[in-house]
Structure 1
């Protein structure tokens, strides 16, 4: 964990965003997220301010997170408790002045929920980017995600379901059945969509924060003022490494290598494009996608924007029925090869292709790999 002034400020901002999200949710007539309902039921039953209540629950969930990951207790595990105390203090403070819209229009209530959703998605991704500890309940969800080998957003779904059950138990304990345990539309909305929204926000936010390196390559004699900003071809490339070997596509007819991947379709995300292209070209299904590098190649008539992602195979199974090669790939006699990582870098750097764009493509893949791993 590297402390920088920028990351510390972003981290504090994320804590405030999370506290504000809870405040907004509690000020609506649409119920609460499962975790907020869980804490609210205890808040009603135990006369403690949120800053103390959050800290108490943090002790429980940090402990559970360490048990799930089977990690030895460390001093750093106390940090999420302090975070939870801070977020609780933000909630206590903001509840004193944020307008309550329980009696307001549905439109205003929905705006509150949408702002809260954006706050949470942005805040949690900022925290993960900063490398600092997550709040206790999110650390608990991340531990679930690691144990089940799923994304953090998917781990949040499991956490929300757990909290919803906990809300009912706490509600029964303190007798709040008439309030539906503070569960409602927001609970269902968060269980179904919050995890996906968190995952969706990650890559564009990381690009904005500068977490993804960017490399610019100019054609001969081109200047920045000559960049073609109208004709842009965007594509995704997959860096799949297994047992220190990387998956490459080898075009036998022209003697050149490239990474699996291809062009983005209209209205398709770059991540969805990557999964589709890898499946169509190799038959493999991938997950744990992490954007690492963007390479911008500038030519007089086009700008090629290549996004390089590290990814893992879901399994060793090849879905033959999902492979759909283009005519160009068929004519090039495409073959899949697993190559030692160092050997792959040498091949991309030193191979001489008979295809007019082969060396250019291999140079791009070479730059993408060495800047991504």
Structure 2
């Protein structure tokens, strides 16, 4: 498994908060499943924070069901991205997932509902174009800058692992 460390400009040099999150990668016919926050025009790879005594795989599978309505099997954790920002250490664990069933039922948090979260299938090329534009946020939103940089790294590594080329 690959590990990447990203240090944002706002990192204070110490950690008071630690969060583990799991994110699921589903690729089908050259398209990747993403969450889209319509009210902020923001894309993200679906997933979220680990709860209580969950394994990382259980966290990924639960988060994917809640955010996408899909029952998935988390196959392998191919990447860990450690982000250091403010006084946080945020470790994202990225899994390749197989879809078992699309239930069509979402269980979004209030924050996700307020953000207008929905799912979209985008071509890998379009997703890499969107996330690859992270530098555009560097001066205006350090949070979006870090988010998009992280997701660009995750998708690039996924494509490398799956040996996907063609414009990426």
Normalising to structure 1: TM-score of the pair? 0.39
1:252 to 26, 33, 38: 38
- Identify the residue that residue 329 of structure 1 maps to in structure 2: 112
1:243-301 CA distances to partner (integer Å, 9 max, x unpaired)? 11100011111111001100001111111000000001111011252111101111241
Say if 1:227 and 1:284 are closer, same or farther in 2 by CA, change over 3 A. Answer: same
- Identify the residue that residue 240 of structure 1 maps to in structure 2: 26
Separation in 2, partners of 1:300, 1:288? 30
Separation in 1, partners of 2:122, 2:23? 17
CA contact (8 A) 2:51 2:59 kept: yes
Helix, strand or coil at the partner of 2:158: coil
Separation in 2, partners of 1:300, 1:338? 32
* Count of matched residue positions in the alignment of Structure 1 and Structure 2: 156
1:86-115 CA distances to partner (integer Å, 9 max, x unpaired)? xxxxxxxxxxxxxxxxxxxxxxxxxxxxxx
1:318 to 92, 103, 116: 103
Q: Which has the larger radius of gyration?
A: 1
1:183-220 CA distances to partner (integer Å, 9 max, x unpaired)? xxxxxxxxxxxxxxxxxxxxxxxxxxxxx111111133
The runs of 5 or more residues in structure 1 that have no matched partner are 1-211
CA RMSD of the aligned region, Å?
A: 2.2
The runs of 5 or more residues in structure 2 that have no matched partner are 160-168
The alpha carbon displacement at 1:312 in A equals 1.5
Helix, strand or coil at the partner of 2:70: coil
1:26-48 CA distances to partner (integer Å, 9 max, x unpaired)? xxxxxxxxxxxxxxxxxxxxxxx
Map 1:298-313 onto structure 2 (within 5 A): 298-313=84-99
- Identify the residue that residue 294 of structure 1 maps to in structure 2: 80
- Identify the residue that residue 216 of structure 1 maps to in structure 2: 5
The alpha carbon displacement at 1:372 in A equals 2.6
CA contact (8 A) 1:249 1:258 kept: yes
Say if 1:327 and 1:355 are closer, same or farther in 2 by CA, change over 3 A. Answer: farther
CA contact (8 A) 2:61 2:74 kept: no
The alpha carbon displacement at 1:328 in A equals 1.1
Residue 341 in 1 paired to residue 124 in 2?
yes
Separation in 1, partners of 2:142, 2:85? 15
Flag the structure with higher helix content: 1
